[in-house]
A = this chain, B = another copy of it.
Amino acid sequence: MTICIQKKLFNLEKIISDLRENKPNVGAIVSFIGYVRDFNKDINTKKLKHMNLEHYPGMTEKTLINIELNAKSKWSLEDVFIIHRVGKLLPSDPIVAVVVASQHRKNAFEACEFIIDFLKTDAPFWKKEISDQDELWVENKLEDHQKKASWNIR
């Protein structure tokens, strides 16, 4: 189990090779990476300059550990790696990676999606979008909460 909150860029190939070290049982790795996107041009005239990502040190790690333990209680997993960047991020920069290693792929797919769904609603990160026109804190998305809630009925 590894959790990193960091300013610097990450390398997925490196994360995966660290994760697999001395784990010959790993048959499947599923990774999710989320990126900074510009505003939707169809409904927006402004242009994203950068994003500032703030978090609550201590609580972030606690929350992510809990999400991970929850995932491990639901699925048989070999290991999990969660990395989230903070600070100033530019359009198309990677923000977050969730990498799950398991013996069989179904567990890895489900656990990876579960972890990012809960991270989105429970881990104390906040994004501020600095555009060429204004500076606004991103509002939370109803669909993220619906996606999280959907895990109760699966």
Q: Which residues of A contact B (CB under 8 A)?
A: 11-14, 16, 20, 24-35, 37-38, 91-92, 103, 105-106, 108-109, 112-113, 116, 147
Q: By the criterion CB–CB under 8 Å, are A24 and B91 in contact?
A: yes
> What's the nearest-Cβ distance from chain B to residue A112, in Å?
8
Contact of A31 among B14, B20, B30, B37 (CB under 8 A): B30
Residues of B within 8 A of A112 (CB): 30, 109
Copies in the complex: 2
Q: By the criterion CB–CB under 8 Å, are B24 and A109 in contact?
A: no
Q: By the criterion CB–CB under 8 Å, are B20 and A92 in contact?
A: yes
> What's the nearest-Cβ distance from chain B to residue A94, in Å?
9
25 inter-chain pairs at a CB distance below 8 angstroms, sorted by A residue, are A11-B13, A12-B13, A12-B16, A12-B31, A13-B13, A13-B14, A20-B92, A24-B38, A24-B91, A24-B92, A25-B37, A26-B35, A27-B34, A28-B32, A28-B35, A29-B31, A29-B32, A29-B35, A30-B30, A30-B32, A31-B31, A31-B33, A32-B105, A106-B147, A109-B113
Q: By the criterion CB–CB under 8 Å, are B116 and A32 in contact?
A: no
Q: Which B-chain residue is minimally distant from A91 (CB atoms)? A: B24
Residues of B within 8 A of A28 (CB): 32-35
Residues of B within 8 A of A20 (CB): 35, 92
Cα A25 to Cα B35 in complex, Å, equals: 9
Cα A28 to Cα B26 in complex, Å, equals: 24
Q: By the criterion CB–CB under 8 Å, are A109 and B109 in contact?
A: yes
